[in-house]
Structure 1
Amino acid sequence: MSLVFAGVCSHAPGITGRSEQADPDVRDRFYAAFDQMRVDLEASRPDAVVIIAAEHFANFFMNNMPTFAIGMADTYEGPIEDPGWLGIARQQVPGSADISRRFISEVMHGSDVSYAEEWKFDHGIMVPLHFLTPGYDVPIIPVNINCQGPPLTPLHRAWQFGESIRAACDALPERIAVISTGGISHWPATPDSGKINVEWDLDFMDRWCRNDRDALLDYDDLTVYADAGQGGFEIRTFIAAAAAAGGAKGTVHFCEPIPIFAVSCTVATYDLNR
């Protein structure tokens, strides 16, 4: 088969952990966009969902920090954080070692990756799953791009990784969905935590929707750090989804700042039929 769904969404822990503190009108419109994304994802009837995230030192640390890693297990557990803090009960999340193994083998034709047979999901994966697969009934293939500890992969390599993911989707007989998660501009765990560069976020999402490779790769990490914080390094996950979508055009369904969540909360999808 091939890629049947592609989109991106935010994963900030406040989205579930501080829900009651947000402006209810904006929060509810954001949640409605997430719910529509769930409906569209379910309509694509995926056999597995590849979720590309930026892992937050929950599994990988400075003693072993792979640039790209893919999970290869039949089950995963999350969240690794305190469920009371995150607002998500601990779950057994289904995977598929068989699909993952074949998926990884195909990805390796274009990109070098590490694999992990054990993986505790943090909020980068669990927040999106909470909204998009609330029944935890679809096999998940977790993918991590190092966006935490420099040296970080160059953006063109994140694009190439996305192309390798698309090639793997095309090679497998299963129906595969790809969802990338991140924050866009944010400054977590710093004195600027809560700061949001809305204009930067909207400009980035415009480039993403146009699937403009040159524009998406026309960033450097020093400028991103200054304009979007260290959390802005997570654009690598969104860029990988753009490459996987193979030139498809996108639509932003929601992209507005919710200060208590500390990000421009974003839901966007690609129209793979265009």
Structure 2
Amino acid sequence: MPVKLICASHSPLMEFTSPQDRTKEHTVRKAFAELAEQVKAYKPTLIISFGPDHFNGFFYDLMPSFCVGIRATAAGDWDYGPGKIDVPEATAIHLVRKVLDEGVDVAYSYRMQADHGVTQPLHFLCDGKLDRYPTIPIFINGAAAPMPTTKRTIALGRAVGQFIQSLNLENERVLILGTGGLSHDPPTPQMGSVPLEVEEFLICGRNPTFESRAARQAKIISVGQRLAAGDQSISIPLNPEWDLALLEKFKNADFSALEAMTEEDIRHEGGRGGQEVRSWIAAFSAFSELGEYEMKVHCYEAISEWIAGFGIVSAELKTQS
């Protein structure tokens, strides 16, 4: 059974601003385009996508560490969607049961709203069609403290890897996606340090008006522009050294080092958005359950205008090389 992995940073600012150094943008878009051609040739029969949320679909009124979408639609933020994600319902339920059997308590949703943490990579890798391939989205909390430990995130990934093994179908072609990070510090509000009206949004801010969503997105665009101009008063700078060290950990399947990372460590080194690296951790953990792998770095660029240390990698099992 062929299985492939792609992990990528995301930034909705890609659609709204360009870096001063346009070669960085060209490198990222070229990497996405090349991988999109590979995905098209591969024709996955199932995509399992690990992704975070940015208070578009998941809120503090009930914040799970992990949640599997049994049915899912795009939240529509940053103009990705709206639209239905083609979730194979019976297969998603099978995944939930397998993960529970492996001892990882996971929530599940028949009405998941997946934001750009899931929809942007699907957009770039699947010809702009969120429903091109059967996809099971798996939410990992990387924004709302307290967050799942990296140890528990690895356990989730390994349980999903066991699910993939249980499919055991010769004609199945599985693609594992992980998206988020690397270092970036967007202006994500935090409970306990914001006005009551912002807390109310964090608790239950689903389905905002067009005007409120536009205002929120304009604020994020402004932050990217100010960071690119050298203003570090609103956000910690990108951390390429931390990013590249993380890529080495993934390349070497160094899960003991990943497991040792704490929420505080990640925040200090990678910023508020660096917490999203849990999606990469889960994706690689799932992939490693299937055997030894070889990872390829397609690009890494630190792009302040996108508020992202932007990395894109892929991996294949050595038995398939």
Q: What TM-score results when the alignment is normalised by the length of structure 1?
A: 0.90
- In structure 1, the residue matched to 2:265 is 223
Higher Rg: 2
User: How far apart, in 2, do the equivalents of 1:107 and 1:16 lie?
Assistant: 36
Alignment match of 2:253 (pick from 191, 211, 217) = 211
CA contact (8 A) 1:187 1:230 kept: yes
- Equivalent residues in 2 for 1:1-274 (5 A)? 1=1, 4-18=3-17, 20-21=18-19, 23-73=21-71, 76-83=72-79, 88=80, 90-110=82-102, 111-134=104-127, 135=129, 136-172=131-167, 173=169, 174-189=172-187, 191-193=233-235, 195-246=237-288, 247-274=292-319
What SS does structure 2 have at the residue aligned with 1:120? Answer: strand
Task: Find the aligned partners of 2:235 and 2:12 in 1 and give their Cα distance.
Answer: 13
Give the distance between the partners of 1:25 and 1:243, measured in 2 at CA: 32
Q: CA deviation at 1:79?
A: 4.2
CA distance in 2, matches of 1:151, 1:34: 32
Which whole-Å CA distance do the structure 1 matches of 2:36 and 2:173 have between them? 16
Alpha-carbon distance in structure 1 between the residues aligned to 2:30 and 2:46: 23
Task: Give 1:39 deviation, angstroms.
Answer: 2.3
- Structure-2 separation of matches of 1:46 and 1:24: 32
Equivalents in 2 of 1:79, 1:154: separation in Å?
Answer: 26
Supply the distance in 2 between the matched residues of 1:228 and 1:195 (Cα, whole angstroms): 9
Deviations 1:170-195 (A, max 9, x none): 11234321100002111110654472
88-97 or 241-250, which deviates more? 88-97
Structure 2, unaligned runs of 5 or more: 189-232
Q: How many Å apart are 1:273 and its aligned residue?
A: 2.7
Q: How large is the RMSD of aligned CA atoms in angstroms?
A: 1.9
Letter of the aligned partner of 1:104 in structure 2? V
Cα distance in 2 for residues equivalent to 1:82 and 1:154: 29
**Whose helix proportion is higher, 1 or 2?**
2
Give distance in 1, aligned partners of 2:26 and 2:74.
25
- Unaligned runs of 5+ residues in structure 1 are none
Identity of aligned residues (%): 27
Q: TM-score, normalised by structure 2?
A: 0.77
Residues 181-216 of structure 1, C-alpha deviations (whole Å, 9 max, x = no match): 002111110654472111110111111111111222
Matched residue count: 266
